[in-house]
Chain A
Amino acid sequence: MSQHVLSLLVEDKPGLLTRVAGLFARRGFNIESLAVGATEAPGFSRITVVVSVDGLPLEQVTKQLEKLVNVIQVVELEPDTTVERDHMLIKVATTADTKAKVLETVTLFGARVVDEASEALMVEITDETVNCDAFVKALAPFGIKELVQSGVLAMAKGSDSFSQQILGTTKAN
């Protein structure tokens, strides 16, 4: 099984997320991460979903997703031509002894401090998943008190726009 990033352009309708998530559950596909948000076009949202499946089931899940009436388009984003980003907030424990080392690690990974308290720092990082994971590993010895993260966000490189291509044709109909 390998990981695949699917980017779904969808109508922003009630229950849409249930339909998409339900389809994955019903057909036995595991969602690794999920990110949903508005797009540049009003009324349309973008869902970025990371799934672990083999090639043939992936084709099946893509086709089943495309059958959902509120799903406009499903694209698989290839790693080489895609920018992928994860966003994390991490509350890491600090003491007088460790604070300097924590700050050093934060700088090293290009992360930022967003809140400072007496016994903890809240830091944020936006990077590829693999770098985010490395950052978490580096902070672990200091004591991670809390961690939240977004799903993967992904966009194809270059000047083409999937949503404009699709929504353009849609409006022409």
Chain B
Amino acid sequence: MSNEVLTGAQIIVRSLEQLGITDVFGLPGGAILPTYDPLMDSTKIRHILVRHEQGAGHAAEGYAAASGKLGVCIATSGPGATNLVTAIADAHMDSVPLLAITGQVNSTAIGTDAFQEADIVGITMPITKHSFLVTKVEEIAATLAEAVLLATTGRPGPVLVDIAKDAQIAKTEFSWPPKIDLPGYNLTFSKDEAAIASAVELIKSAKQPVLYVGGGIIRSGAHQELLDLAKITGAPVVTTLMARGAFPDSNPQNLGMPGMHGTVPAVTSLQKSDLLITLGARFDDRVTGHVKSFAVNAKVIHIDIDPAEIGKIKFANVAIVGDLKEVLPDLNAALRSELENKPLDISQWWSFLNGLRTRYPLGYNEPEDGKLSPQYVIKRIGEISGPEAVYAAGVGQHQMWSAQFINYERPNSWLNSGGAGTMGYAVPAAMGAKVSQPERLVWAIDGDGCFQMTNQELATCTINNIPIKVAVINNSSLGMVRQWQTLFYNSRYSNTDLNTGTDTIMVPDFVKLAEAYGALGIRVETVEEVDAAIKLAIETNDRPVVIDFIVGRDAMVWPMVPAGLSNDDVQFARDSRPIWDEGEQD
């Protein structure tokens, strides 16, 4: 049987089709031009032309994070490829399944400092799960299949495939499926019954256990199994920034988010715990604060698919390497039979934590300048839009408020740049999310700083009928940096004014900017206007919507554990620490 003879470019398109890819985000250029020609004819793949390659990268991330599927972005060589770098680094930190395809100069020109040549494989080595340089047409199909396997299995992550232009032009026989040859990539995890038994013993004897839930639950799709574990143990649950939505906020066992801007009950539960049941979390410094004083009395059960995460920051008394979706049912079964007749006695622990919940709920003060409170705006967006919507945030104060004041009930509903902290993530990520979840309401909750980094993708949204809603929480400054300047730099505001507020020169005017991009622009300055604007945005689906919420600039994110300090030093408001006068738990 003879196979079809195709060009490398045709093979790229056919391979992506075979791999089930239906949407890609990209921008063509010289070294990827051959591939864009057959891409034009594909009836299975929708290509969305972005305005900047970084937008393609974050859109692919948002596409992936909202759906659990692979996100794909395409760029040309040199600057096209380097413009993807931030998004690739972002996906690496947050374990997002991402395939980045870049054109490369002709294989004969590689290494000669050719026009638009960049060693993108070398540049991205530390920020990819793996990367490939393809110079032979015969290797394209197998490499793409391997790249997709790597990106989507195990701990997901970004994989880059850099394909020389002459390999895209050359012809060879195409056959599918290709032979995958990854002898160093091990996906099988042996069942560790002894470790499960040890975990059960630790849980049985725990007096102050906490389920410390990370983004791994969402990537693994193990939220149901987590619900079971929470039900069996009755233990409190904390959901990290990456895990908002992994466990319903409406569940009374959910104490909220731990960490630098976590709730007092969540931060304190970890700090005073005697057993951290750590599920797909990695003891990030924003969660632990000063590591040596973090949860000093706690033993640790650590379940993670990445063996390198175990013991990296905190010693694990029991370590289980595997996919949470496979490990948790075993743990749950073992626990169920042990705890059926003798449930955990953690009532004292709960009364302590419930006391904290009553005394230190999340809250905020109205801004003294009479402007809108940003927390109120974000809260209303969540309440009106509901848990079926998707919320993508930028990075900074508005991100923390969105994590705190929106109730998440389902995984993949909260998208943000957690590890990398990439300003500019929100608009393109929301765009990608809307492409993968066209039936859902998708919000980008952005800051006035973040929005100015990637708002060019509004053009992409308008032209391609991707009606996202953008809420700009406009405090006319780089708010989080300003907050630190207020707290730690004697209120000396070095280079944090952005002049986007109504009492400034307003450059740019976000409403005019929205209109220039063919979006509906709405300005909101009073409480009375908030709900109507949100509802109008939700009802408007023939174009994107940008709401410019003019909010008070002195609002701060509380609670806060100042960087580098112990979680014991959590402040629920400026200079106000919780009082541990109860003495019943220590």
Query: Which residue of the partner chain A has the closest CB to B182?
Result: A69
Interface centre among A11, A18, A56, A67 (most CB of B within 10 A): A67
Q: Are B311 and A72 in contact (CB under 8 A)?
A: no
Taken residue by residue from 291 to 329, chain B's Cβ proximity to chain A (1 for < 8 Å, 0 otherwise) reads as 000000000000000111011100000000000000000
Checking A56, A64, A69 against B184 with a beta-carbon cut-off of 8 angstroms, the contacting residue is A69
Whether a CB of chain A sits under 8 angstroms from the CB of B183 is: yes
Interface residues of A in 12-35 (CB under 8 A from B): 14-15, 18-19, 22, 26
Q: Which residues of A contact B121 (CB under 8 A)?
A: 15
How far is B184's CA from A40's CA once the two chains are assembled, in angstroms?
A: 18
How far is B183's CA from A10's CA once the two chains are assembled, in angstroms?
A: 9
Checking A10, A56, A63 against B308 with a beta-carbon cut-off of 8 angstroms, the contacting residue is A63
Q: Are B184 and A72 in contact (CB under 8 A)?
A: yes
How far is B185's CA from A170's CA once the two chains are assembled, in angstroms?
A: 10
Q: Are B312 and A70 in contact (CB under 8 A)?
A: no
Q: Which residues of B contact A72 (CB under 8 A)?
A: 183-184
Known: A69-B129, A69-B130, A72-B184. A60 touches B312 (CB 8 A): yes
Q: Are B126 and A22 in contact (CB under 8 A)?
A: yes
Q: Which residues of B contact A67 (CB under 8 A)?
A: 306-308
Q: Which residues of B contact A18 (CB under 8 A)?
A: 122, 125
Query: Which residue of the partner chain A has the closest CB to B130?
Result: A69
How far is B130's CA from A69's CA once the two chains are assembled, in angstroms?
A: 7
Whether a CB of chain A sits under 8 angstroms from the CB of B264 is: no
Whether a CB of chain B sits under 8 angstroms from the CB of A66 is: yes
SS class of chain A's interface: helix, strand, loop or mixed? helix
Taken residue by residue from 50 to 80, chain A's Cβ proximity to chain B (1 for < 8 Å, 0 otherwise) reads as 0000001001100110111111100000000
Q: Are A70 and B133 in contact (CB under 8 A)?
A: no
Interface centre among A19, A22, A69, A70 (most CB of B within 10 A): A69
Whether a CB of chain A sits under 8 angstroms from the CB of B206 is: no
Query: Which residue of the partner chain A has the closest CB to B306?
Result: A67
Query: Which residue of the partner chain B has the closest CB to A69?
Result: B130
Checking B184, B307, B308 against A71 with a beta-carbon cut-off of 8 angstroms, the contacting residue is B184
Q: Are A15 and B125 in contact (CB under 8 A)?
A: yes
Known: A22-B125, A56-B311, A66-B307. A170 touches B183 (CB 8 A): yes
Query: Which residue of the partner chain A has the closest CB to B126?
Result: A26
Query: Which residue of the partner chain B has the closest CB to A171?
Result: B183
How far is B307's CA from A69's CA once the two chains are assembled, in angstroms?
A: 14
How far is B180's CA from A12's CA once the two chains are assembled, in angstroms?
A: 16
Q: Are B122 and A15 in contact (CB under 8 A)?
A: yes
Whether a CB of chain A sits under 8 angstroms from the CB of B150 is: yes
Q: Which residues of B contact A69 (CB under 8 A)?
A: 129-130, 150, 182, 184-185
Query: Which residue of the partner chain A has the closest CB to B313?
Result: A60
How far is B133's CA from A105's CA once the two chains are assembled, in angstroms?
A: 51
Q: Are B133 and A15 in contact (CB under 8 A)?
A: yes
How far is B573's CA from A52's CA once the two chains are assembled, in angstroms?
A: 46
Q: Which residues of B contact A56 (CB under 8 A)?
A: 311
Q: Are B308 and A11 in contact (CB under 8 A)?
A: no
Checking B122, B125, B184, B307 against A63 with a beta-carbon cut-off of 8 angstroms, the contacting residue is B307
Q: Which residues of B contact A14 (CB under 8 A)?
A: 133
Q: Which residues of B contact A19 (CB under 8 A)?
A: 125
Interface residues of A in 138-173 (CB under 8 A from B): 167, 170, 173
Query: Which residue of the partner chain B has the closest CB to A60?
Result: B312
Q: Are B308 and A64 in contact (CB under 8 A)?
A: yes
Q: Which residues of A contact B184 (CB under 8 A)?
A: 10-11, 68-72
Q: Which residues of A contact B182 (CB under 8 A)?
A: 69
Q: Are A60 and B311 in contact (CB under 8 A)?
A: yes
Query: Which residue of the partner chain A has the closest CB to B308?
Result: A63
Q: Which residues of B contact A59 (CB under 8 A)?
A: 311
Checking A11, A64, A68 against B183 with a beta-carbon cut-off of 8 angstroms, the contacting residue is A11
How far is B308's CA from A67's CA once the two chains are assembled, in angstroms?
A: 8
Q: Are B308 and A60 in contact (CB under 8 A)?
A: yes
Q: Which residues of B contact A22 (CB under 8 A)?
A: 125-126
How far is B307's CA from A68's CA once the two chains are assembled, in angstroms?
A: 12
How far is B183's CA from A18's CA once the two chains are assembled, in angstroms?
A: 19
Interface residues of B in 109-168 (CB under 8 A from A): 121-122, 125-126, 129-130, 133, 150
How far is B122's CA from A5's CA once the two chains are assembled, in angstroms?
A: 27
How far is B128's CA from A67's CA once the two chains are assembled, in angstroms?
A: 11
Q: Which residues of A contact B130 (CB under 8 A)?
A: 69
Q: Which residues of B contact A70 (CB under 8 A)?
A: 184
How far is B183's CA from A167's CA once the two chains are assembled, in angstroms?
A: 8
B121 to chain A, nearest CB (A): 6
19 contacts between A and B (CB under 8 A): A10-B184, A11-B183, A11-B184, A15-B121, A15-B125, A15-B133, A18-B125, A19-B125, A56-B311, A60-B312, A63-B310, A66-B307, A66-B308, A67-B307, A68-B184, A69-B130, A69-B184, A71-B184, A72-B184
- Besides the contacts A69-B184, A167-B183, A173-B183, what 17 more A-B pairs have beta carbons closer than 8 Å? A10-B184, A15-B125, A26-B126, A56-B311, A60-B308, A60-B312, A63-B307, A63-B308, A63-B310, A66-B308, A67-B308, A69-B130, A69-B182, A70-B184, A71-B184, A72-B183, A72-B184
The 5 tightest CB contacts between A and B, nearest first, are A63-B308, A69-B130, A170-B183, A72-B184, A63-B307
Chain B contacts to A: CB under 8 angstroms: 121-122, 125-126, 129-130, 133, 150, 182-185, 306-308, 310-312
